[in-house]
Amino acid sequence: MRPIMPRITVVSLVLALILLFSVALVSSNGVAAIGKNDTGATEVIIIKSPGCTKCAAAERALEKIGQEVPINVTGYYYYSEDGHRIIKQYRAKDVPAIIIGMQVINYRDYEGDNALLESLIKGALANQTPNLPAAFTLPGNESTTQDLSAAANGPNLNLQEISLYTISAVLGAGLVAGFNPCLLGILVFLAASVLSSKGKRREMVTMVVFFSLGIFTMYFLFGLGMQQLLQTEAIASAFRYILTAFLLLAGLSQVWDALRLMQGRPSLFRTDWALKYFQAGVERGRFSSYFLIGALFSLVKAPCVGAIYLAILDLLSARSYFEGAAYLFFFNLGVILPIIILGGAIALGMSPGQVDAFRKDHRVGMRLATGLTLLALAPLIYWQLI
């Protein structure tokens, strides 16, 4: 027997490190703001977003400074009515943004450097005169709907620009999430069915394109809906705990499945029940049939990719809706890239049997890599370290 276990272990660790590094780069922003009240404490306002780890870091910095200087911190979500008003009035440009008197500390001013952030906050506090009234007051309800719309969509709310590094990280996370035994098994089945019934490589390319499009569409629409839900404070705060528990359960199930496979026992993640529906779609040979097969497979594949997908959604929820949607596009592109690459290779002459042999030889390693990654992500998500 070939000594595959050392290779499996190495592949598992490498994939786990790649995904953890990718997710770490996707982490979102954090914010705060300040003025003076009658008790002598300086009023601080922080503009933030639900689940935003950078916002949490900014709040921790304020808590630390609050032990030395009397301050009163008030937080507003950027999409709230008061958040819109403050953003428009003080021309805050990032989330997080800290306002002290008339001074705004945007995230871009310190770029995650906590020491610099503390220095900026202390400098702004030092500029506050104790005898002065509050540095600002919130406008009343006379603000118009047009003003709120301008604050939300205009140049004043310039959330962090889309980064090429973040795109690469999200794409890499999607690639790791998409490359799993579930995909390889179904792809081999579909390729063998198409080639045996049609006998044309061109038909294989058509199947791969529309099959991938079906998966992409389902996951992308689901992600947009979840991102909208996560903009709600109650859901966002509870989601972190639910996601942590889900990551632990999913990680343990992946590791357990790897151990079962090593013992020669059947996998927990079976897709046999869906094969008859896939076969019926292949026999029709229509574009719509291949698309619907992909949509159905996205549900079959959910246990394999779901935990990583939800973790990415949690991290993207702290960004603006359209920025998060852009990153979600690239993540889902990464999810379907293995299908496009392997499907294209089969269309160019690779035997489906070769792909199936690779799946059987390395499925333990892929399960182990996924499980270890999910278990490592759980505490990072819970303590908002990423």
Q: What is the mean pLDDT of residues 124-148?
A: 48
CATH of span 33-153: 3.40.30.10
Position 1 pLDDT exceeds 80: no
pLDDT for res 25: 53
Radius of gyration of the chain (CA): 25
pLDDT grade, residue 32 (50/70/90)?
very low
Q: Identify the sign of the CA torsion 209, 210, 211, 212.
A: positive
Q: Highest mean pLDDT: which of 177-186, 188-197, 207-216, 280-289?
A: 207-216
Q: Which DSSP string corresponds to 7-20?
A: HHHHHHHHHHHHHH
What are the φ and ψ backbone dihedral angles of 350, each rounded to 5 degrees? -65, 140
Higher-confidence residue of 177 and 116: namely 116
Rounding to the nearest 10 degrees, give the CA dihedral for residues 207, 208, 210, 212.
Answer: 150
pLDDT for res 81: 78
pLDDT for res 272: 66
| Amino acid in position 5 | M
Position 138 pLDDT exceeds 70: no
Nearest to residue 76, comparing CAs of 34, 47, 44?
47
- pLDDT exceeding 70 applies to what percent of the chain? 74
Position 365 pLDDT exceeds 50: yes
pLDDT in tens, 45-67: 999 887 677 888 899 999 999 99
pLDDT for res 160: 44
pLDDT in tens, 334-343: 999 999 998 8
* Angstrom distance (rounded) from CA 98 to CA 135: 13
pLDDT grade, residue 156 (50/70/90)?
very low
pLDDT for res 297: 84
* Angstrom distance (rounded) from CA 54 to CA 73: 16
Three-state DSSP at 33 gives: strand
pLDDT for res 5: 43
pLDDT for res 24: 53
pLDDT for res 162: 60
Q: What is the mean pLDDT of residues 151-160?
A: 39
Position 95 pLDDT exceeds 80: yes
- Spell out the domain ranges in the chain: 5-26+163-382, 33-153
Q: Which residues contact 109 (CB under 8 A, 6 or more apart)?
A: 116, 120
pLDDT for res 252: 93
pLDDT grade, residue 347 (50/70/90)?
confident
Q: Which DSSP string corresponds to 315-378?
A: HHTTS-HHHHHHHHHHHHHHHHHHHHHHHHHHHTT--HHHHHHHHHHHHHHHHHHHHHHHHHHH
Q: What is the mean pLDDT of residues 266-292?
A: 76
